[in-house]
A = this chain, B = another copy of it.
Amino acid sequence: MDVAVFLIQCPDRRGIVAAISGFFSQRSYNILQCQQYTDSARGQYFMRIKIDLNSSDFSASRLESEFESVAAAFRLKWSAHFSTKRQRVAILCTKTEHCIYDLIIRQRSGELPCTISVIISNHLHLEHIAHQFDIPFYHAPVNAGSRDSQERTVLQILRQHRTDLVVLARYMQILSPTLIEELQGRVINIHHAVLPAFEGARPYERAYERGVKMIGATAHYATSDLDQGPIIEQDVARVTHEETVADLKRIGRDIERVVLARAVKAHLEHRIITSGPRTIVFSAS
């Protein structure tokens, strides 16, 4: 089935549901899903609407242009996403393999609707994984003096592979504001702590020192403020005094990969709208 997903946000006012659902009904589209959320405190309205493109003879190309009339009337900020276009994902990694294996295996099993088009790393440790699954691999080493040129190389590779989404799968480099700007809203990072706890480096070591009883991970959109981007997904596990730092890291790996996979899946299914520092993540169906 070919579908389109419209992601919409606007100031809250009467008649929005009726107007938008009416727009699609009048063009004979079957609405497969219509999810809404009103942020009463800020007076903002959010909608995700999913339609069956095959249910109407209406031209998909006219759909977007005609939708502009509703959009103007309600001051909608919106985007439309068509399942006919397969999204292309690039994975950036360093030496840690659990997240990258996990993403590839989920993609292969059909769980992530995308193509993993390229793997880029500043090290060679994980090249064999790219080979195991026949995914193009690029080695883009970096040191203190070469960050700018390395980032230009990375950006060139991302463009060349027509990348829709960049996943930082434990990529231990901080992206420059320039690169973040260029990829705005299209970079998902996994942080190995329940943000805002333990922002920055060595979160498991610090969690151990602090003696916490829960550890976790956070997937968020990367912004130029480190570890401050809008949170997409978090999860935790209970730990006790018995766990060493190595145990925390091992337990954490299971959380990291699940949290990252859920965030990537939500993004690929167009279920996320960002609103300032917060995300609206509509449930999967």
Contact = CB atoms under 8 A, between A and B. Distances in A.
A170 to B, nearest CB: 13
Given A105-B97, A212-B195, A235-B214, A242 B283 contact: yes
A59 interface: no
> 10 tightest A-B contacts by CB?
A211-B278, A18-B25, A197-B197, A17-B21, A18-B21, A213-B234, A241-B280, A18-B22, A214-B234, A15-B25
The interface centre, meaning the residue of A24, A26, A213, A240 with most chain B CB atoms within 10 A of its CB, is A213
Q: How many copies does the complex hold?
A: 4
Interface string A242-285: 10110100100010001000000000000000000111110111
* Chain A interface SS verdict (over half): mixed
Interface residues of A, number: 69
Contacts of A39: 241
Contacts of A30: 14
7 contacts: A14-B29, A21-B22, A39-B241, A195-B197, A196-B198, A196-B212, A242-B284
A232 to B, nearest CB: 8
Given A22-B22, A35-B36, 10 more contacts: A17-B21, A34-B34, A40-B244, A98-B109, A194-B236, A196-B210, A211-B230, A213-B231, A242-B285, A247-B284
A233 B254 contact: no
